[in-house]
Amino acid sequence: MIRPLLILRPLDGALQTERRAKALGLQTIVDPLFAVEPMQWSAPAAQDFDALLLTSANAVTFGGAQLDAYKSLPVLAVGRATAEAAEHAGFELAETGESGGQQLLNALQADRYRRILWLAGEQHSVLDPGDRQLDIVPVYRSRAVALGEQAVACLQTETVVLIHSARAAGHLVSELDRLKIGLNRHHAVVFSTKVAEAAGQGWRSLHIADRPDDESLLSLATRLCQSE
C-alpha cells in the first residue's frame, strides 16, 4: 500500500521537505498550516553580543536587511536546516545542535558566549541560558490558518503526516476535531517527544524522529508510506 505524505510546515520549509521526500520516491501533499510573516524589529548593537542563536531558518529568511549587522557574530544553529540557511546567507557557523535549543545551550563550553542574541519567532519556546545572558528579539511570526482543501482531501484516506513543532501538532489536532476527521486512521511522524505530547493519543501510529531534522523524519515516513 502506498500512503501519501502530508507536509504541513510553512511554505519555504515545506517545499524543501517535499524536494527531499520526492527524491525518496514518496507521494507528497504540501498544504501549510501556518503563514510566516516578517515583523518590524529594532536591531540591538552587534558588539554587545558574543554569539547569535538561530532556532529556525525563518529568522534568516524573514529577518530582513538588519541581519547584515550580525554577520560578524558566530552562529549557534539549532538543526542542520537552520545551519545551512545561515551559511547560505553568509553567516559564520560555530555550533550546530541536534535536539533543540536547550540541548545546544547546555552543550556550550562554560566560558564561551557570555551574552547571546536570539533572533526568534514571535511564539518561541522557553530556554534556560544558565549563567549566560540571552537576549530575545522576535523577527518573524507564524500565523495559523485553517487546514486547506488539499490536506482535507488527502486525509479522507490513510495518510502519513509530518509534524515539525508542538504548536503545529496542537493546531492540527484542533483542526481535525473541527472537521470531524479521526486521528485513528492516520500515522503521525514528529520531530521530538515534546511534539509527540502535543499531538496526543489516538493516532493509528505515532513515531518520534531520532533527531529533529528532515533526514530522520523522512526515514521514518518512508517506511510508513511504503509498507503493506
Same domain, 92 and 128: yes
Answer yes or no: is 30 within a domain.
yes
DSSP single-letter state for residue 22: H
Mark residue 100 as left, alpha or beta (left: phi above 0; alpha: psi -120 to 50; beta: remaining).
left
Query: Strand pairing of 115-121 and 187-190?
Result: unpaired
In the chain, which stretches have pLDDT less than 50? Answer: none
Per-residue pLDDT, 228:
63
Please indicate, yes or no, whether residues 91 and 119 belong to a single structural domain of this protein: yes
* 124, 140, 156 - which closes a domain: 140
Q: What is the pLDDT of residue 213?
A: 81
> 136 with 58, same domain?
yes
Model pTM score: 0.76
pLDDT given at position 100: 78
Do 11 and 95 have their domain in common? no
Query: What integer pLDDT is reported at residue 214 of this predicted model?
Result: 85
One-letter amino acid of 148 = G
Domain co-membership, 201 together with 184: yes
- pLDDT in the model for residue 132: 94
- Looking at the structure, tell me whether residues 153 and 132 fall in a common domain: no
Q: Is 77 helix (H, G, I), strand (E, B) or coil?
A: strand
Q: What is the pLDDT of residues 80-116, one digit of tens each?
A: 888 999 999 999 999 998 767 888 999 998 888 999 9
- Domain containing 171: what range? 5-35+144-226
Shared domain for 95 and 117, answered yes or no, is yes
Q: What is the pLDDT at residue 87?
A: 96
3-class secondary-structure state, position 75: strand
What is the DSSP secondary-structure string of 101-135? Answer: HHHHHHHS-TTS-SEEEEEEESS------TTSEEE
Give the CATH number of the domain where residue 103 resides.
Answer: 3.40.50.10090
Pair 197, 158 in one domain: yes
Backbone angles phi, psi at 184, to 5 degrees: -70, -5
Q: Is residue 200 part of a domain?
A: yes
Q: How many domains in the chain?
A: 2
Which of 140, 167, 186 is where one domain is finished?
140
